[in-house]
Chains A and B, each alone.
Chain A
Amino acid sequence: MARFGENAATEQEVPIEAGQENVAESPEALTERIQENSEQAITDGEALLNEASGSIKPEEEEGGPGLLEAARDKMRQVGDNIKTLASSTAQKIKFAIVGKNLEEMTDDELAERLNQKREQHTEAVAHSKMTMRDTVTKDEAGEKLGYTDKILVKGSYEARQGLNEERTSAQQEANKRGLEVLTDQQKEDARQERRTINRERAQAFQEEIDSRRAKEGEQEKERINEAVLAEKRKQIAIMEEKTRQEEEAQRREDKRNTPSAPGHNDGRSGNTYTEDWERL
């Protein structure tokens, strides 16, 4: 516990972790150390406050508990900021390891990067708006928005600014290349439009087929009807011919059986027609 009048905490040494000489260690180890440093800083801060409040007996000290609670709230807020710093630093290191310079990226990589930054920025903005508007904690806002990325869950104004810068640089590089990178929403809209066009085309095609089939059906019916008619005509012609031949045969038969007229020899009886007639 600090003595009265002693500017206890601020006069303490705030050590900067000896780390710069070890930067050459692997990025993974560095990230782990960042995490440890941050957790240690949070624990130290809380311990310092606990130590300072150790001699306060809330029931005896008027305003004591209120002051302590307020100080703890502030300490928690700083702890959150330390966590955010650690997460965003880890993320930056990760990008530095896997990331290429924008200029070195292929068009596809650049497009992916730009869309990733657009999405992250949108989420960070939504997150920061929610925490400002709805008096919810950063974790609650992250949970409500369904974020899985802890960086965004802890998204601070700083993270939002950083993402905005990264998004803008990726956009500028895309513009420089004349590369049009669609957002997911624009892609969805384009997909929807293509679907509508394809549906309309398919519908028009189907109508055309139906109409052609109907027309072909009509023509086929007509063709069949004509063929039937032609067949009928043919059969009629055959029947007519048959009838004609039968009639002809009948006539001939009748002619044979009919006696010749007088004076006329039909060549069958040897008599003249007149003789046969007279005999009758």
Chain B
Amino acid sequence: MEEKKSEQIEAIYNEYLAKLNELKKEQAKIVDNFIKEIEQKKLDKIRREL
């Protein structure tokens, strides 16, 4: 019984880690997109000036 519970808890924890990893990727993507958008704006500005 105890062993079964430990396995269950382990599965829950692993699932948590996997989901957390996905969410961290989402965070990284938000930052990445933000940087790209800013860079794009800079590029557009330079083009306009040229």
> What separation, in Å, do the CA atoms of A10 and B34 have in the docked complex?
12
Pick from A12-20, A147-155, A180-188 the stretch touching chain B.
A12-20
* Interface check B47, CB cutoff 8 A: no
> Do A44 and B17 form a contact, CB below 8 Å, given A23-B9, A92-B12, A96-B9?
no
* Interface check A56, CB cutoff 8 A: yes
Within the complex, which residue of B9, B17, B28 is in contact with A9, where a contact is CB–CB below 8 Å? B28
Q: Which residues of B contact A48 (CB under 8 A)?
A: 27-28, 31
* Interface check A102, CB cutoff 8 A: no
User: How far does the Cβ of B41 sit from chain A's closest Cβ, in whole Å?
Assistant: 6
> Do A56 and B38 form a contact, CB below 8 Å, given A27-B9, A71-B30?
yes
> What separation, in Å, do the CA atoms of A67 and B35 have in the docked complex?
10
Counting chain B CB atoms within 10 Å of each CB, the highest count among A9, A19, A27 belongs to A9
Pick from A58-66, A168-176, A204-212 the stretch touching chain B.
A58-66
User: How far does the Cβ of B34 sit from chain A's closest Cβ, in whole Å?
Assistant: 4
Tell me if A96 and B39 are in contact (CB < 8 A).
Answer: no
Interface string of A1-33 (1 = CB under 8 A from B): 110111111101010110110011001001000
Report how many residues on chain B are interfacial, defined by Cβ distance under 8 Å: 35
> What separation, in Å, do the CA atoms of A266 and B7 have in the docked complex?
138
Q: Which residues of A contact B29 (CB under 8 A)?
A: 9-10
Tell me if B14 and A4 are in contact (CB < 8 A).
Answer: no
Tell me if B25 and A67 are in contact (CB < 8 A).
Answer: no
Please classify the interface of chain B as helix (H, G, I), strand (E, B), loop, or mixed, using the class held by over half of its residues. helix
**Closest B residue to A67 using CB positions:** B37
> Do A14 and B17 form a contact, CB below 8 Å, given A52-B34, A61-B38?
no
* Interface check A130, CB cutoff 8 A: no
Q: Which residues of B contact A75 (CB under 8 A)?
A: 27, 30-31
Tell me if B20 and A85 are in contact (CB < 8 A).
Answer: yes
User: How far does the Cβ of B31 sit from chain A's closest Cβ, in whole Å?
Assistant: 4
Report how many residues on chain A are interfacial, defined by Cβ distance under 8 Å: 49
> What separation, in Å, do the CA atoms of A232 and B13 have in the docked complex?
101
**Closest B residue to A5 using CB positions:** B39
Tell me if A89 and B24 are in contact (CB < 8 A).
Answer: no
Q: Which residues of B contact A68 (CB under 8 A)?
A: 34
> What separation, in Å, do the CA atoms of A62 and B16 have in the docked complex?
40
Q: Which residues of A contact B17 (CB under 8 A)?
A: 16-17, 19-20
Contact residues, B1-50 vs A (CB, 8 A): 5-6, 8-10, 12-21, 23-35, 37-39, 41-43, 45
Listed A/B pairs (23) with beta-carbon separation below 8 Å: A10-B32, A17-B17, A20-B13, A37-B20, A41-B20, A41-B23, A44-B27, A45-B31, A49-B34, A61-B38, A63-B37, A63-B41, A67-B41, A68-B34, A71-B31, A78-B26, A82-B23, A85-B19, A86-B16, A89-B15, A93-B9, A96-B5, A97-B9
Kindly list 6 other residue pairs between chains A and B, CB separation below 8 angstroms, not including A10-B32, A23-B9, A93-B13: A14-B25, A45-B27, A61-B38, A62-B41, A67-B34, A75-B31
Residues of B within 8 A of A (CB): 5-6, 8-10, 12-21, 23-35, 37-39, 41-43, 45
